[in-house]
Each structure stands twice: as structure tokens, then as C-alpha cells.
Chains A and B, each alone.
Chain A
Amino acid sequence: MAGTDRFDVDALIEDRGVGVVVCCGSGGVGKTTTAAALGLRAAEAGRRVVVLTIDPARRLAQSLGLTELDNTPRPVRGLDTSAGGSLDAMMLDMKRTFDEVVEAHATPEKAAQIFANPFYQAVSSSFAGTQEYMAMEKLGQLRAEAERTGAWDLIVVDTPPSRSALDFLDAPKRLGSFLDGRFIRLLTAPARAGGRAYLRVFAFGIQLASNTMGRLLGGQMLADVQTFVAALDTMFGGFRERADVTYALLKEATTAFVVVAAPERDAVREAAFFVDRLAQEGMPLAGLVVNRLQPLPAASLTAPRALAAAEQLHELGAETPVSAAGVGPAPAHLDIANAPASSLSLTVELLRLHADTAAVRARQQAQVSRFAAAHPGIPIIEVPAAAGDIHDLDGLRAIGSAFAGGSNG
């Protein structure tokens, strides 16, 4: 990766001017693990950190002390606090966050009325953009709390497991603009709308739309939507503005985006889309984390040389079937590639495994190089794949060290 800047993660987490780090990327690339590892490393470097996770793996959640989904940050145990830092973690409960928003802005009677509305129940628990919207909302809340109480000086946010990384940016606006959109406005205030000259042009369309949607969806649903939006409308000034406020937070200089990718075609392409989008929106990108790169501890041996040596050894083994260091024949059904039973067969297998591993790594690096070529100047850090799954603080610390060391496997 000549010519590529190394993403200096330690400089990022030590930068006191950075108050929010957003980890994003497509589904399955290790966003949550990256967010947790960043948070842990920052906390052990002395920062007071809160990590907002969206959908952590069960054992990772347990290792962070997240045994219950209660929408409240809890201190993580087992932290090295010698640098004066702290680490809290929480798991997003989107329904509960939505409920809290309603409770915070409505009288108890009104809130009860909203909660009972079937349309609210559906939107708050299942609408595709709700999770993203509520992640943004929670981020806004955490930041307000951080400013008020001084409990945290760094918020690390994981983003919802959508297939496209862009959903995180788009979904809240989509939800906001539809709840705020013209059709809903018209449904909720037909009299007022009818009185406006510019809307009269659409009178036919509106009538038709209401009738058709009423027939299609059933009149009850439209009635529910009307009462729901009317109830929400009186308590806070429009969803769109609310989404805009959080969106603006993401553009501030104190925010840093960390794009996470796995070294494979689709994930790298998603990362590229996201990087381009951040640039368009003027949002601050700190760098790209390429997760789970195949490590290659014996990198000094090239793959072709390893294969040639394996071939030679294999022939040698066929000529002299008993090696001085033989460990006995393998059971026939487990014998691979008809290798003779000796230390030679072990060495042959080691060499073939090495060539195979090197090929995997080379393909992965080609994906990263392609990204780097198309996006010059974007700092990149590669994190080697762990052999097993990460589910304890030590595993997260190991990832943190890879951030710092720029490990090349």
C-alpha cells in the first residue's frame, strides 16, 4: 500500500477536540467490534467514553456488561483506569428511545394516547428507518447529557446493521420528511390546505389520493395516521427539523467518521460509496478501518516458492517414505493429498497452507489497493483477523493494539 496514509487511530482518540466518533459501514463488517475496541482504547488512554452499540453479538455484549437492554449507559468492568479514563456502554432500544422522546415532550394523557395508536406502534417498532432515526436521537441525547453533566468527553457510536452504510445518513431524513411530508400534512389539515391558493391546484389530486389511499389501506389507518401526526405535531416542532438538528451535529468539526469495511468486494464498494457521500455532505472522515485482514506471519516466504518447495518435498517423501522424525501414518480417511506419513508431510502441508493463506491475503489487499487508488489521501488502517471470535476485553484490546501498531499480520 505504498503512497497510502496510515490511519492514526491513537491520534484520533487522543484528540480532545473530537467529541463524537461514528463507526459506519455495511452489515457484517465488524462495526460494533470496532466501535467497542475504539472506545476501550480511548478509555484506557484516559478519555471518559460512552459507547452506543446498536446490535452487538451476545458474547461481546456480555463482555461489555450489557446483559440487559435498558437503554441506559452502564460502566464496563475490567477496565484499566490508571490513565484516569472511564468507559460506559449501552445498547440502543429503539422503541424505548422513541417512547422517551414522546414522554419528554407530551403531557402524560397525550403520551398515553400516542402509545395506544396502532400507527405509532408500527412506526416505532418496525419502520425501516426508525432504528437509524433513534440512533441519531440517542446520540443527540447522549451529547446533551455529556455537556450537562460532564460525564463523558467522547461518544463512540455504532450504526444500525443495514445492508447499505448510506441508510444511516438517509433513513432519519426519510422518516422525518415523510412524517412531515405534504401528504400527511394534507391528511391532517384538509381544511387549512384547501384554503391555500398554491395547494388548490392539487385539489383534485389530494381528493383522489385520500380516496384511493383510503380504499387501498382502509379508512381506519388514515384516521390513525391523522390522530398520530396531529398528536405529535403539537408537542414538537416537526420531525424534519429534529432530524436536521442531529444531521447538523454530524457535520461539526468535533465529529469524526470512521468507515469500517471487510476486505472483500461488496464491503469495499459500500465503503467507497460512503466515503464519497461524506465528502459531498462536508462530513469529517477520519479514516478507513479494514477489518479482518488475513494475517500472514511467514510473509518472508513467497507463495510460489512455498508451492515449489512443497512439490519438491512431496517427491522426496515419495522416494523415502520413512523420515527420521516420522509420527506414524495418518488414518486413511483423514489423509490429505496422499501425503506420506512423516515430518515431510507436515512440512508439505504447512507450505501449501501458507501458499493458500498468502493468496487469500493478496486478494484482500488488492481490494484495499483498488480503494486506495480511487480515494487518494484517505488514511487506512488494516486490522488482522483473529482466529476466533472476539468476545472479551482482551480481544478488544488486541484490536486496539492493531490500530496503534499498524500490524502487518
Chain B
Amino acid sequence: MPSPALRRALADARLHVVTGKGGTGKTTVAAALALTLAAGGKRVLLAEVEGRQGISQVFDVPPLGDDEVRLVHDPSGGELWGLSVDAKAALMEYLQTFYKLGRAGAALEKVGAIDFATTIAPGVRDVLLIGKVYEAAGRTAGPRRGQGRLVYDAIVLDAPPTGRAVHFLNVNNEVAEVTPMGPIKGQAESITRMLRARSTLVHVVTLLEEMPVQETLDAIRDLSAARFGLGCVIVNQEREPLLSASSRAALRAEGVAERVRADLTAVGVRPTHGMVRGLLAEAAAHLERLDLEEEMRAAILAQDLPVLHLPALAEGIEGGGLAVLSDLLRNQGVR
């Protein structure tokens, strides 16, 4: 059952920013989240900003270019579109829109000005990347911005990892230091308004391991200090406990190895000492892992944020795994 806290958090959300430590499955979770929203009949854009082509890998489609590509059409009428935002393309588009540069844009490229602006000028790159998301978020079907209905009902942004996320989202501060004026500054202010609005939620993906959890706690602290709206913590690749409490007790009992050996012999397995010892060692490692996960889970739950749980998939995300994750998110109340 969806918790009231989760329902409240998600009801107003239109822009979902997904971050997490490297290796936690951030992109997969962002994709599953986008798929869940689309399966609810929404028109959803899933955007990545690091040029890693993670979306095309997750959906097993050719690499995404500068254009939005439809990835999924759901029977409910929902649609999922994908976009890999490229800073250079975004800058060219931006210059074209605001300065009508025409072919002069090529001259800018030639002297290295585009590279300069998109690579080294601090913060500008991030403004351009989120700027594209901002543009898509406000895009309407009418002839002008603001006319007609919004093109996207929801946007899921596969953001940079936790270590860089606050910096990335804090474009305004970043740009203000070096660019006190100019249209980039103006753009940064509009973006900041969008990111701080109630309709924007930042979700943090974690594994139940020490470093990812530590980074998650740090990110939650930093994101709230920077006044971003926090959504959920999404615990990914959660392990199913395969040993019951009674087995845990039985493992501690005297003579357990002998009893396991007898049971195995009873069904025709010829157990060696090594095999029985190995089985018990596997059980001990599993229990140690579960205990550690329990400790980590408690640290996450203490954060007073809605928590979503996704299991470790035996076959990975290939062959329908993404749909499984998406269903699980829906079952937990994600709409």
C-alpha cells in the first residue's frame, strides 16, 4: 500500500530528478520510474545529461541524438520519450533561438567559442544541460510557449551522481560567481525557480551498503540545506532473505553440521566435509550481509523520507527486468 507520505510527495511532482552514488543503478531506476509514470497514461520525458547513452542501453535502442525519441507507447495512452542532452547542441539551439545567428554559429564553433562555453566556463555547461530540461518542461503544444497544453506531463532527469548533484542543481549560485549578468544568468534564475518549485522532487538511489548509504545521507543533508524538495529514497537491489529466523537459530545449535549431513544423505547427495562446511559458510555470509543491510536500512528509514524498495533481479534488466521494476514501483504507489 502506498504510504500517505509518498502519495503526498508524488501528487504534485512533475520533474523527478534521480541521483545516487555511481554503481547504484541510478539510470535503471530513473528508467523504471519513467516507465511507471508512462504506464499510468502520462506523456513522460526521460533525459540524461552526461552523454553516457545510459538510456539507449537500458531500452536497448540505438544511441540517442539531439532529438527526443519515443521509446515506449503504453496501451493506456501514455508515452515515454528519451533524450540525451548535449551541451553543445543545447547552446547552438539557444543561440539560434535568442540571437538568430544563422550560419555565424559555425564561426563560433570554429574559433572554439562553443567548446569554451560548454566545457570550461564554470556552471555554463550545467545551465545549458538543465536549460534543455527546463525548455522541455515548459514546452506547450500551442504555437508559442505558454499556449496550449503542456507537451510532457512528467519529466524524469537522470542527474549526475550524488557527489556532484547538489553542485549541478545549484546552477544559480555557481553561475552567479562568474557571470553576474547576461542571459545565461537570467536562464539560471528561471531554472532555479523550476528546481525549487513544489513540482520538482529529487530522489536518491542507494544500495544497502556502507558507502552508498553514507553518500545518500550526505546528499539528503546537502540537498535539504540547499532547499531542494526531496522525494523518495529508492533502495535498489535489495536482497531477499533466504534464511528464516528458525534457520538462523538452528545454525547456532550444537551438531548442526551432522544434521545437515544426515539430511543431505537422506536424499541421495553424498556430502563431503567440505560441502557441508561450504553450505554453512554460505549461510553465515548471507546472514552477515543481511545484518549489515538491516543496519543500513535502519539508517535510511531514520531519514523520515518515503522509501521505495527494488529487488536485485536475478537476470539483470535484460529480458523484461525493467518492466518488473516498473510494476514494483507502481505496486508501491508510484503514479
A residues touching B (Cβ–Cβ < 8 Å)? 26-29, 55, 57-59, 118-119, 121-123, 126-128, 161, 163-164, 174-175, 178-179, 181-184, 186, 202, 204-206, 208-210, 212-221, 224-225, 262, 264-267, 295-301, 305, 309, 312-313, 316, 325, 327-331, 334-336, 339, 341, 343-347, 349-354, 356-357, 359-360, 363, 387-389, 391
**Closest residue on chain B to residue A390 by CB atoms:** B210
Chain B residues 280 to 335 lying within 8 A of chain A, measured CB to CB, are 280-286, 288-289, 292, 314-316
Do the beta carbons of A343 and B250 come within 8 Å of each other?
yes
B283 contacts across to A, CB distance below 8 A: 349-350, 353
A299 to B278, CA, bound (A): 8
Smallest beta-carbon distance A101→chain B, Å: 17
Do the beta carbons of B52 and A57 come within 8 Å of each other?
no
**Closest residue on chain B to residue A341 by CB atoms:** B246
Q: Among B59-67, B73-81, B219-227, B267-275, which stretch is in contact with chain A?
A: B267-275
B284 contacts across to A, CB distance below 8 A: 387
Chain B residues 244 to 276 lying within 8 A of chain A, measured CB to CB, are 244-247, 249-251, 253, 255-256, 259-260, 262-264, 266-269, 272, 274-276
**Closest residue on chain B to residue A119 by CB atoms:** B178
A202 contacts across to B, CB distance below 8 A: 107, 110-111
Do the beta carbons of A313 and B178 come within 8 Å of each other?
no
B82 within 8 A of A: no
B50 within 8 A of A: yes
Q: List 5 A-B contacts (CB under 8 A).
A: A26-B22, A122-B174, A202-B107, A204-B107, A388-B289
Do the beta carbons of B178 and A327 come within 8 Å of each other?
no
Do the beta carbons of B242 and A118 come within 8 Å of each other?
no
Smallest beta-carbon distance A51→chain B, Å: 18
Known: A122-B123, A161-B163. A349 touches B110 (CB 8 A): no
Smallest beta-carbon distance B291→chain A, Å: 9
B246 contacts across to A, CB distance below 8 A: 327-330, 334-335, 341, 345-346
Chain B residues 154 to 179 lying within 8 A of chain A, measured CB to CB, are 161, 163, 167, 174, 177-179
Known: A122-B177, A163-B50, A181-B116. A349 touches B242 (CB 8 A): yes
The 8 residue pairs across chains A and B that have the minimum distance between CB atoms: A28-B23, A27-B22, A298-B278, A330-B246, A122-B122, A297-B278, A205-B107, A218-B182
A24 to B127, CA, bound (A): 30
Do the beta carbons of B116 and A183 come within 8 Å of each other?
yes
Do the beta carbons of A359 and B107 come within 8 Å of each other?
no
Do the beta carbons of B260 and A343 come within 8 Å of each other?
yes
Q: Is the interface of A mostly helix, strand, loop or mixed?
A: helix
**Closest residue on chain A to residue B212 by CB atoms:** A28
Do the beta carbons of B267 and A312 come within 8 Å of each other?
yes
A164 contacts across to B, CB distance below 8 A: 52
Do the beta carbons of A327 and B182 come within 8 Å of each other?
no
Known: A57-B210, A309-B269, A327-B249. A343 touches B21 (CB 8 A): no
Cross-interface CB contact of B244 among A216, A221, A312, A330, cutoff 8 Å? A330
A223 to B253, CA, bound (A): 76
Do the beta carbons of A216 and B117 come within 8 Å of each other?
yes
B174 contacts across to A, CB distance below 8 A: 122, 126
Do the beta carbons of B107 and A209 come within 8 Å of each other?
yes
Smallest beta-carbon distance B282→chain A, Å: 6
B314 contacts across to A, CB distance below 8 A: 356, 359-360, 363
B95 contacts across to A, CB distance below 8 A: 212, 216
B43 within 8 A of A: no
Cross-interface CB contact of A27 among B21, B275, B282, B316, cutoff 8 Å? B21
Do the beta carbons of B264 and A217 come within 8 Å of each other?
no
Smallest beta-carbon distance A217→chain B, Å: 5
A267 to B120, CA, bound (A): 28
Smallest beta-carbon distance A34→chain B, Å: 14
- Give the most central of B95, B101, B266: most A CB within 10 Å: B266
Do the beta carbons of A205 and B110 come within 8 Å of each other?
yes
A330 to B251, CA, bound (A): 13
A344 to B87, CA, bound (A): 61
**Closest residue on chain B to residue A308 by CB atoms:** B267
B115 within 8 A of A: yes
A217 to B187, CA, bound (A): 11
B211 contacts across to A, CB distance below 8 A: 57, 389
A312 contacts across to B, CB distance below 8 A: 267-268
A305 contacts across to B, CB distance below 8 A: 269
